[in-house]
C-alpha cells in the first residue's frame, strides 16, 4: 500500500476525530528521511532510513532487504510503526529502513558487507535513544549482530540497545523469533472469546508459511484448531479434513515449498477466495484489493502481514461485514518483544522468562480489549478504532511537548 493510500485513510479518520490542519500535518509529515547509496563489490544499492514521528520516544522499526524497496514503501512502513508503537503503549516513535536489493543473488559475505555498509552510512541517525532498527523481510538476527558490531566499532563503545532482534549472545530476547505469531494467536483467541465462537466450528486458511505464517499455524494446530489450507510463494494446498502443520513443514523443508504436500493443489488466489471462516494473511502487502475483495468468503481476517488489505478492499469488506483484526494490533507482538530486549539491554538486567511471558500476554490482550471495546462503543470497525487510539496518543504527546 502506497503512502497516498494512507493519506486517504488519515483524511477520513481526521474527519471522525475532528483534527486541525496542524494535527493532520504532524501525521502526514516525516521527521527525517535519509537516502544513501551503498556499495558492495562495485555494485550500488539504494538504501533508506525514515523516521516518521518520535514524539513518544526514539524511532523503532525494522530494516528490509528486498528488490521492491522504495521511498514510498519505507514511508508507509514507518508510518505504521508509529501507529503500532503508540497503540501498544510503547515508549517508541515509528521508523523503518530498507535496501533495494535481491538478497538471494548475494553471497553470505556480500550480505554481511551490505549490512555493515548500511551502518556506516546511517550510524549518525541511529542509536538506543534515537532510532532503533530490527529485522524485517529478508533480514535476521545474524544481520542484526553484524550491524551492532559495525556500530560499536564506529562509536568505540558498547550499545546493545541500538538494535533489537539480535542473537541471544549479543543481548537478544529468547522469544522474539515467535513473538509476532504469539501476539496474533493471543489476540485471535481473545477475539473468539468475545464473539463466543467455538473453535471446532472454524475452518482456517493461512497465506504465507514463513516465520510468522508457520508459527501461527503451528500454535493454532497445537491448540486444536482446524487449518484447511496454507500457501507460500509457489502456491498452496487444501485438505477439508485439516492439515497436519508439522508434516507440511517437513515437506517445505525437504522440497522448498508446501505445494508438494499431499492434498489438493490451489493457487494463492484460490486460497484467498477459499471457503474458510477465518483467513490469516501472513505473506505480503496488497493481497486483498478491489479486484478480489468481493470474492472473499471468510467472515474474519487476521492481518499478520503489514498492509495486506488495500483501503479500497477495506471498504468492500466492511460492507460485506467481514471483521478484520488490523495489522497494527494483530502483528505487534514482534515489537513488544523488541521492547523487552531494549529494556534489558539498557538496564543490564535479564528478566525471568515467566515474567516476560506474562507481561507480553497482558500487553497483547489489554490492547485488543481497548480496540475491541472502543470499536463497539463508537460503532467503528476495528481498524478505524485502532487508528484513532494510536493517533490520539501521538497527538497528545505532541501537545505535551508544545509542538501543536
Ligand atoms: P518470511 O520471509 O519468513 O515469510 C514470508 C512467507 O510468505 C514465505 O513463506 C513466502 O513463501 C510467502 N510468500 C511470499 N510471497 C507470497 C505470495 N505471493 N503468496 C503467498 N505467500 C507468499 O517473512 P515473515 O517474517 O514471516 O513476514 C511475513 C509478513 O509479516 C511480512 O509482511 C512482514 O512485514 C510481516 N511482519 C513480520 C514480523 C516478524 O516479526 N517477522 C513482524 C510484523 C510484521
- Which CATH architecture fits 30-172? 3-Layer(aba) Sandwich (3.40)
pLDDT band, residue 2 (cuts 50/70/90): confident
Res. 44: pLDDT tops 80: yes
Average pLDDT, the chain: 96
- Cα-to-centroid distance, 341 and ligand 1 (Å): 22
The answer to whether the 30-172 and 177-404 domains have the same CATH topology is yes
CB of 131 within 6 A of ligand 1: the answer is no
375 C-alpha to center of ligand 1: Å? 28
User: How far from the centroid of its chain's Cα atoms is residue 207's Cα?
Assistant: 15
Q: What is the DSSP secondary structure assignment for residue 112, as one 8-state letter?
A: H
Model pLDDT, residue 106: 97
Burial of residue 389 (number of CB atoms within 10 Å: 0-12, 13-18, 19+): buried
What's the rounded Cα separation, in Å, for the pair 363 and 215? 20
Is there an atom of ligand 1 within 6 Å of 331 CB? yes
Output the CA 284–ligand 1 centroid distance in Å: 6
Task: Count CA atoms closer than 13 A to 23's CA, side-chain side.
Answer: 18
Q: Hey, is 173 helix, strand or coil?
A: coil
Asked if 164 and 176 touch (Cβ cutoff 8 Å), the reply is yes
Write down the pLDDT at residue 177.
Answer: 87
Q: Is the dihedral of CA 137, 213, 301, 190 positive or negative?
A: negative
Q: Which residue has the cell 516465520?
A: 211
The CA distance from 287 to 273, in Å, is: 11
Name the residue with the closest Cα to ligand 1, atom 5: 210
Encode pLDDT of 136-167 as tens digits. Answer: 989 999 999 999 999 999 999 999 999 999 99
Domain spanning 177-404: which superfamily? NAD(P)-binding Rossmann-like Domain (3.40.50.720)
Q: State whether residue 295 is helix, strand or coil.
A: helix
pLDDT confidence bin for 174, thresholds 50/70/90: confident
Cβ–ligand 1 contact at 258 (below 6 Å): no
User: Any catalytic annotation for residue 96?
Assistant: yes
Percent of the chain whose pLDDT exceeds 70: 100
Sequence-ordered list of residues with C-beta below 8 angstroms from that of 57, at least 6 positions apart, any chain: 85, 90, 91, 92, 93
Q: What is the pLDDT of residues 212-257, one digit of tens each?
A: 999 999 999 999 999 999 999 999 999 999 999 999 999 999 999 9
Domain ranges of the chain: 30-172, 177-404
Amino acid at each position: 500500500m502506497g503512502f497516498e493510500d494512507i493519506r486517504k485513510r488519515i483524511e477520513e479518520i481526521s474527519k471522525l476525530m475532528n483534527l486541525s490542519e496542524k494535527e493532520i500535518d504532524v501525521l502526514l509529515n516525516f521527521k527525517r528521511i535519509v537516502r544513501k547509496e551503498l556499495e558492495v563489490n562495485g555494485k550500488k544499492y539504494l538504501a533508506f532510513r525514515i523516521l516518521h514521528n518520535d514524539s513518544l520516544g526514539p524511532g523503532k522499526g525494522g530494516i528490509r532487504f528486498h528488490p521492491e524497496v522504495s521511498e514510498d514503501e519505507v514511508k508507509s512502513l514507518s508510518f505504521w510503526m508509529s501507529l503500532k508503537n503508540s497503540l501498544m503503549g510503547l515508549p517508541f516513535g515509528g521508523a523503518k529502513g530498507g535496501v533495494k536489493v535481491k538478497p538471494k543473488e548475494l553471497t553470505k559475505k556480500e550480505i554481511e558487507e551490505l549490512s555493515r555498509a548500511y551502518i556506516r552510512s546511517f550510524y549518525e541517525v541511529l542509536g538506543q535513544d534515537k532510532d532503533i532498527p530490527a529485522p524485517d523481510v529478508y533480514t535476521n538476527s545474524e544481520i542484526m549482530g553484524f550491524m551492532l558490531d559495525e556500530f560499536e566499532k564506529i562509536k568505540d563503545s558498547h550499545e546493545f540497545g541500538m538494535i533489537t532482534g539480535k542473537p541471544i549472545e549479543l543481548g537478544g530476547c529468547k522469544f522474539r523469533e515467535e513473538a509476532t505469531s504469539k501476539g496474533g494467536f493471543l489476540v485471535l483467541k481473545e477475539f473468539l472469546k468475545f464473539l463466543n465462537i467455538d473453535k471446532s466450528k472454524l475452518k482456517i486458511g493461512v497465506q504465507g508459511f514463513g516465520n510468522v505464517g508457520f508459527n501461527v499455524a503451528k500454535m493454532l494446530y497445537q491448540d486444536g484448531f482446524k487449518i484447511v489450507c496454507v500457501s507460500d510463494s509457489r502456491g498452496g494446498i487444501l485438505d477439508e479434513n485439516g492439515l497436519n502443520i508439522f508434516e507440511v513443514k517437513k515437506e517445505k523443508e525437504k522440497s522448498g515449498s508446501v505445494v508438494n504436500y499431499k492434498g489438493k493443489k490451489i493457487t494463492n488466489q484460490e486460497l484467498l477466495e477459499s471457503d474458510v471462516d477465518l483467513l490469516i494473511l501472513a505473506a505480503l502487502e496488497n493481497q486483498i484489493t478491489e479486484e478480489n475483495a468481493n470474492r472473499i468468503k471468510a467472515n474474519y481476517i487476521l492481518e499478520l502481514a503489514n498492509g495486506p488489505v488495500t483501503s479500497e478492499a477495506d471498504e468492500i469488506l466492511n460492507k460485506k461485514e467481514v471483521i478484520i483484526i488490523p495489522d497494527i494490533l494483530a502483528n505487534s507482538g514482534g515489537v513488544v518483544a523488541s521492547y523487552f530486549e531494549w529494556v534489558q539491554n539498557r538496564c543490564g538486567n535479564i528478566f525471568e522468562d515467566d515474567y516476560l511471558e506474562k507481561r507480553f500476554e497482558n500487553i497483547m490482550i489489554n490492547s485488543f480489549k481497548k480496540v475491541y471495546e472502543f470499536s463497539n462503543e463508537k460503532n467503528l470497525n476495528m481498524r478505524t478504532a485502532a487508528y484513532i487510539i494510536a493517533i490520539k496518543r501521538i497527538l497528545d504527546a505532541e501537545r505535551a511537548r508544545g509542538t501543536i
